[in-house]
Structure 1
Amino acid sequence: MLSGLDFFIFFFSMAAVMLIGLLAGKGKETSSEDYFLAGRSIPWWGVAGSIFGTNISANHLVGMMGIGFSVGFAQTHFEIGAVIALLLLGYVFLPIFLELKIFTLSGYLEKRFGDTAGLIYALLSFVLILVQMTAAYYIGSRTLNTLLSSDLGYIGGILLLIGISCTYTIFGGLKAVVWTDVFQSSVLLIAGILVAILTFNHPEVGGWTGFMARDAAQAVPKMNLYLASDHPQLPWTGVFTGLFIMHIFYWGNNQYLVQRALAAKSLTHARYGMFAGGLLKLLVPFFSIAGGIAAAQLFSAIGKPDIAPDDAFPELVKLVVPFGYGIIGIIAAGLLGAIISSIDSMMNSAATIATIDIYKKYIDPEVSEKKMVWIGRVCIITIVIISATLAVLTYDPTGKTNFFLVVSSQSSYFTPGIVAAFLLGIFNKSITHRGAVIAILICPIFSYLFEYLYDTNLGQLSIFSELFGEKINFMHRAFVAFIVSFTSAFLASGKDKNNSQYTWHNMVANPESLNLAFKKLWGIIIGLCVLALGAYFNLLPRWVLGGIATIGIFYAFASHIKQYPREGLTFIGDDRFYAGLLAGLSVLILFLF
């Protein structure tokens, strides 16, 4: 039950979001670059807030707590693994994308491999965004109804989300999306940390020390990053293979995430923003995933162990947050911000793809700038209607599955082939148009066939079931699909015309620097493997091994700054300083848990 103060804070936040969005884009979006890329004028902190807000949606705030609640801390790999992908985006993909001044990532595939590859990517991206938006409407409406104890109903909750997000996104374009994301990310962080503090300080949890002691006393502790290779949901072999491929797609080849970096003032601003957003992401495992584990302890202690994972967050809020202080209003506002900051980003990116890659390219090449903005607005309305309808028809608002993993599994049928096409396009001069198209198209076909074959035949053989389980995990399947797509691209590439001038060898400003960075990367990987063996055999305490790894990684970045200094930047002002800090802290977490 919400107090009057809670409702005031909640509705004030809603009004603030709409006002910020309307003011940010008021009367300025007259060209396609203004509307879809905010005039390429976003500073680093805008990039950071928008990337964090777009990524940490209700899918994360609610879905990740649900997985922590039911599975455990291994879900943290979805956050930690993103760091390597962010580094790839910042130092490999993004310099090329910005140099080409593209609006969409299909623009790169068109230049490198031709129109067909670009069109296939555009269509697949549109479908994947549709899937993500549908999921966002589902979890957003479900959670708001539970948290607010309102009579909105499932459909009413969806309509509320549509009303708020469409108000400014349709008229203000990406600039409105970015500035509202910054505001909503701030509220989201406050809300998430508040819930975590109240949860861990509950007497039945006993603070962080009591929480860790209770977890260690369990038959199967949940504060463990590494689950068996045959674990049905988060096998350790999957998180270091297939999940890594999915991270590369999500952070490096995914239109609605990368579009924020494309809108930055400069490459330096984009990198600062991406790495700042990455540092914020390192908080998520502790206030969301570990918070979910604490919630499981708490609900078990009070005799309510049967709560559905996707209801863990709102039920926890109702249990631990005191009434009458406006705290529930802040949390509800943070949740609303988490939902809307993802939905508005996907709206804008879907409209960008539909307008730039499809309408202008194939329907009206001579379309005016003004009409392109109008087409973008129509596309937003269209995709909202489709995704909201799908949310009503395809999701059960009373379901008990971990929807976050369901959504990840759905997208993994398609994304490995896209990653193969981008990586080979950038790093290999011999891959042709035919190879890239085959790599993208064969992926979903193989993924579905391989899953069926494994689940009905291979999984029944002990040699496979003992290692990977009787049913193939989507991460394992994604990695095998990536290998098949990667290999198929080589086999299918003949002697067709090859636009190899768009590889990184020809487009990166300082290829020697990047070559040396990759050599250092191999050294880091070998060193980490040695330290991991030390942790496995308990040769030294994990915190010691993690400290060695962290210092070693940061030293590698620091030495690179000295070897290749950038004019006008101090050591601490160099983006590589923050990249090293981000990478080092991520690896430390991998060793500590």
Structure 2
Amino acid sequence: MQLSSLDYGFIIVFFSIILGIGIYVSKKSGESSSQFFLSGRTMPWWLLGLSMVATTFSTDTPNLVTDIVRTNGVSGNWVWWAFLITGLLTVFVYAKLWRKSNVNTDLEFYELRYGGKPASFLRKFRAIYLGVIFNVITMSAVTLAAIKIGGIMLGLEPWQTVVSAGLITVIFSALGGFKGVVYTDFLLFFVAMAGALGAAIYLVNLPEVGGITALVSNDIITEKLSILPDFSNTEALITLLIIPLAVQWWSSWYPGAEPGGGGYIAQRMLAAKDENHAIGATFFFNIMHYALRPWPWILVALSSLIVFPDIASIQEAFPNVPADKLGHDLAYPAMLTMLPSGLLGVVLASLIAAYMSTISTQLNWGSSYIVYDFYKQQVNPNASEKQLVTVGRLSTVVLMVLSAILALALQNALQLFELLLLFGAGTGLIFILRWFWWRINAWSEIVAMFASGIVAILFKVTAVGPFLFNTEDGLLPSWAEYPTMVIIISVFWLGATFMTKPEEDAVLEDFYRKIQPGGPGWKKVLAKAKQKNIEIINTSEKWSVPSGITAMLLGCVLIYSCMFATGYWIYGETKLASILTVVALISGGLLIKTWRGMRNNIL
């Protein structure tokens, strides 16, 4: 595939603007660690919301969606659509709590909620576990997608893609810090959306595909179109829909969709001007992430089944792609090679935008853990602001190098997604309950963290997994693997909770006094404080969780209705699309009414 001068022009201008933003904000970002990692906590909701959307609009996301659609059909996307429940719980329950905490990172929360050596260990260990290990794995998946795009579209060797894509990203990330990330995300979002939409419109109308009407009526495609799994196929129904909706959303820790908020989502909430801006940013993100973006990727994935019906056809068309990089996810960049000059440059720029946005966010977030939660806590408690910024910039570079090395060894995006889900299985409920149940302690999280890792390795690396979970000759069906992990890990952390001492009264009282979480889970702490004549309630605000859950449910109806109405309008099923559109309007009105009541309660 040959790029024209126009294509190169788009890409060069794009890179120049990104580097210019990084250089422009570098002086301000270098003033202090708060500026470098949180931009002084002055960010508005709309800018933070767009930044969240741009961050999750990664190069591996369209590849992942393509892999899912080609393998399991459109309904296979419930594996990540279910996380909308997690996201909206964060919006209407946890966003204001995070902003009240006023911590620098979500890991600093550990020494606010827990006390003593276990809390200190948990904070430092997770700084490395999440900030380095999990973060590097996540970035390597993004870089793997870039490698596949570079190989298919530009004929680049994997190392050439890693060096060229990573160098500019790490430079502007190290210079601009969080402010540089958020400012560039504003531009990256619009470039990425333009590229995705432009590619979908052009590729659906290729002569081989024949337009949207021919696409949805094609015999190869019709069995893939359903938004819900086949209810007559019990295994598919359980795997693709029931487990994600009944278990996965609350039980699994996954980057960007952490139960109770966390990670780079928490970082943006902590950078917001106030609680309302934190809530507005996360709600805006969830609307854009689920209701707006999936369909351009889905349409390209469906079209690819006509042009490249199997992996062999992709291999035949692109013989230079290494065998260890072949997979269904290659179909997305393979389709993009058919774009005309001009649009090709825009789409390539959009893919670069998606890559840079995600990687820059992961670098800044992971670096904040290393600086605040490890270096300052463990190595140099008296470090100056200048030293903290320097360590932040150095750790940014190191994280980039480590993720690039791992990416060169990986093969498949869906494979990595499933592995990350398993490593976080069973831990999510702790992150939800720790705000509202006084009895959870540091040992609950420590045991859950190690148990999830050990059980995941046991099931995936040893013969235990195949022996227990196999559709044909295992003791249990294959779909039972994830729920079994959740049950095992939950038993471990609940056992640890009741076998160890609760947190000291002073720690619990200080936490309640600052956060005002409310609810029946703190009755015992409130009663003991009252007996000691200690006042820890400092607000007349009613407990907002019941209203928050109501808002969450209405928000789910609104966003799912918007998403599926869009799909059915595309499919030409106007009656069902109209009904869902009306449902979206009604649920939206009810949500506005509920939200106004919640705001009046806060004020």
TM-score (norm 2): 0.80
Does the 8 Å contact 1:459/1:472 carry over to 2?
no
3-state secondary structure, aligned to 1:251: coil
Please show how residues 542-581 of structure 1 align to structure 2 within 5 Å: 546=580, 550=584, 553-566=587-600
1:222-371 mapped onto 2 (5 Å cutoff): 222-226=225-229, 228=233, 230-231=235-236, 235-245=240-250, 246=252, 250-252=256-258, 253-281=261-289, 282-300=291-309, 304=313, 308-319=327-338, 321-322=339-340, 324=341, 326-371=342-387
Q: CA RMSD in A?
A: 3.4
Query: In the superposition, relative to structure 1, how do residues 239 and 26 fare at CA in structure 2: closer, same or farther (>3 Å)?
Result: same
Q: Distance in 1 between matches of 2:159 and 2:365?
A: 24
Whole-Å Cα distance in 1 between the matches of residues 466 and 540 of structure 2? 48
Q: Do 1:317 and 1:328's aligned partners in 2 also have CA atoms closer than 8 Å? A: yes
Q: What amino acid is aligned across from residue 98 of structure 2 in structure 1?
A: F
Are the equivalent residues in 2 in contact too, given 1:413–1:448 (CA < 8 A)? Answer: no
Cα-to-partner distance string for 1:385-443 (whole Å, 9 max, x where unaligned) = 22222223x22xxx5xxx23212222223323542332221121122232332222222
Instruction: Describe how 1:361-400 pairs up with structure 2 within 5 A.
Output: 361-392=377-408, 394-395=409-410, 399=411
> Would you say 1:173 and 2:191 are equivalent positions?
no
How far did 1:292 drift? 0.2
CA pair 280-32 structure 1, distance change in 2 beyond 3 A? same
2:441 maps to which of 408, 425, 432: 432
2 CA distance for matches of 1:520 and 1:10?
Answer: 42
- Following superposition, the deviation at residue 33 of structure 1 comes to 0.3
Give a deviation string over 1:61-116, Cα, whole Å, max 9, x none: 22222332333212432553232222222232222222121111111122212222
CA deviations over 1:517-539 (Å, ceiling 9, x no partner):
4367689999xxxxxxxxxxxxx
Name the SS for the 1:512 alignment partner. Answer: coil
Q: CA deviation at 1:131?
A: 0.5
Alpha-carbon contact 1:141-1:157 (below 8 Å) kept: yes
Tell me what 1:590 maps to: none
Contact preservation (8 Å) 2:314, 2:331: no
CA contact (8 A) 2:78 2:241 kept: no
C-alpha change, 1:311 and 1:459, in structure 2 (3 Å) is closer
CA distance in 1, matches of 2:184, 2:596: 38
Contact 2:551 2:594 in 1 (8 A): no
Residue 186 of structure 1 is matched in structure 2 by 190
**Pair 458,274 (structure 1): closer, same or farther in 2 beyond 3 Å:** closer
Count of matched residue positions in the alignment of Structure 1 and Structure 2: 539
Match status 1:207 vs 2:211: yes
CA distance in 2, matches of 1:481, 1:55: 31
**Are the counterparts in 2 of residues 249 and 418 from structure 1 also a CA contact under 8 Å?**
no
Q: Post-superposition shift, 1:27? A: 4.2
Q: Which residue of 1 aligns with 2:62?
A: 61
User: What does residue 141 of structure 1 align with?
Assistant: 147
Amino acid in structure 2 at the alignment position of 1:2:
L
Partners of 2:257 and 2:8 in 1: how far apart? 36
Instruction: Indicate the larger mover: 107-116 or 455-464.
Output: 455-464
- Amino acid in structure 1 at the alignment position of 2:347: I
Deviation per residue, 1:16-71 (Å, 9 max, x gap): 21112221333442111000111112222221221111111011022222332333
CA distance in structure 2 between the partners assigned to 1:112 and 1:390 by the alignment: 35
- Verify: 1:457 aligned to 2:468, yes or no: yes
Distance 2:268 2:599 in 1: 27
Q: Which amino acid aligns with 1:356?
A: Y
8 Å CA contact retained: 1:22, 1:172: yes
Answer whether contact 2:74 2:224 (CA < 8 A) is retained: no
1: CA distance, partners of 2:555 / 2:42:
36
CA distance in 2 between partners of 1:357 and 1:447 (Å) = 26
Of stretches 197-206 and 516-525 in structure 1, the one that deviates more from structure 2 is 516-525
Deviations 1:432-457 (A, max 9, x none): 23233222222222333355534213
Gap runs ≥5 in structure 2: 318-326, 519-536, 558-574
Pairing partner for 2:163 from 159, 170, 174: 159
Distance 1:524 1:334 in 2: 29
Q: Does 117-126 or 509-518 show the bigger shift?
A: 509-518
- 2:224 alignment partner in structure 1: 221
How do 1:393-542 and structure 2 match up within 5 A?
Answer: 394-395=409-410, 399=411, 403-450=412-459, 452-459=463-470, 465=476, 468-469=477-478, 475-476=482-483, 479-480=486-487, 483-484=490-491, 487-497=494-504, 499-501=507-509, 502=511, 504-505=517-518, 510-518=541-549
Structure 2 contact 49–284 (Cα < 8 Å) conserved? yes
Amino acid at match of 2:470: G
State the partner residue of 1:129: 135
CA–CA distance in structure 1, aligned partners of residues 214 and 239 of structure 2: 26
Offset of residue 194 of structure 1: 0.5
Secondary structure of 2:444's aligned partner: helix
Change (3 A) 1:404 1:305: closer
Q: Is the 8 A contact 2:124 2:378 kept in 1?
A: no
Distance in 2 of aligned mates of 1:485 and 1:171: 44
Report the more deviating stretch, 194-203 or 269-278. 269-278
Q: Which amino acid aligns with 2:61?
A: H
| Aligned-partner residue type, residue 518 of structure 1 | I
TM-score by length of 1: 0.82
Contact 2:75 2:229 in 1 (8 A): yes
Gaps of 5+ in 1: 527-540, 570-593
